[in-house]
Amino acid sequence: MNIGLELPPELEQELSAEASELKLSLDEYILRILSQRPVLHNPPKTGAELVAYWQRSGVINSRPDIDHSAEYARNLRRRAETRY
């Protein structure tokens, strides 16, 4: 389905900037925002529901460049503790 929509210039610029940060087109980004709308009305209530939501959203396994997550987390923590 195609829908024509006139956005105020400020909102279009804001959404375009957010989409660029995620390397998405504006159309893809708006579709992603709209598809997450049900979660706002019925948020995850348990840890299992939250993990399932993160899996559906692509958050889990979104960093294939990290081979060992525990080691990566330890290194991040160590760097944070030693910065001035």
Domain span at 19: 9-82
Residue 58, both tokens: 């692509």
User: Does 18 have pLDDT greater than 90?
Assistant: yes
Helices (H), ranges, the chain:
9-21, 26-35, 37-41, 47-57, 69-82
Is 30 a domain residue?
Answer: yes
- Predicted TM-score (pTM) of the model is 0.52
**Residue 45 pLDDT:** 94
Is 4 a domain residue?
Answer: no
**Residue 58 pLDDT:** 82
How many domains in the chain?
1
Is 1 a domain residue?
Answer: no
CB 31 within 8 A of CB 37: no
Alpha carbon of 29 to those of 12, 35, 42, 51: distances in Å? 11, 10, 21, 22
Is 76 a domain residue?
Answer: yes
Instruction: Give the mean pLDDT of 6-27.
Output: 94
Contacts with 44 (C-beta within 8 Å, 6 or more apart), sequence order: 50, 52, 53
- For 41-77, how does the pLDDT look when each residue is reduced to its tens digit (9 = 90+)? 889 999 999 999 888 888 888 888 999 999 999 999 9
**Residue 41 pLDDT:** 83
- For 19-47, how does the pLDDT look when each residue is reduced to its tens digit (9 = 90+)? 999 999 999 999 988 888 887 788 999 99
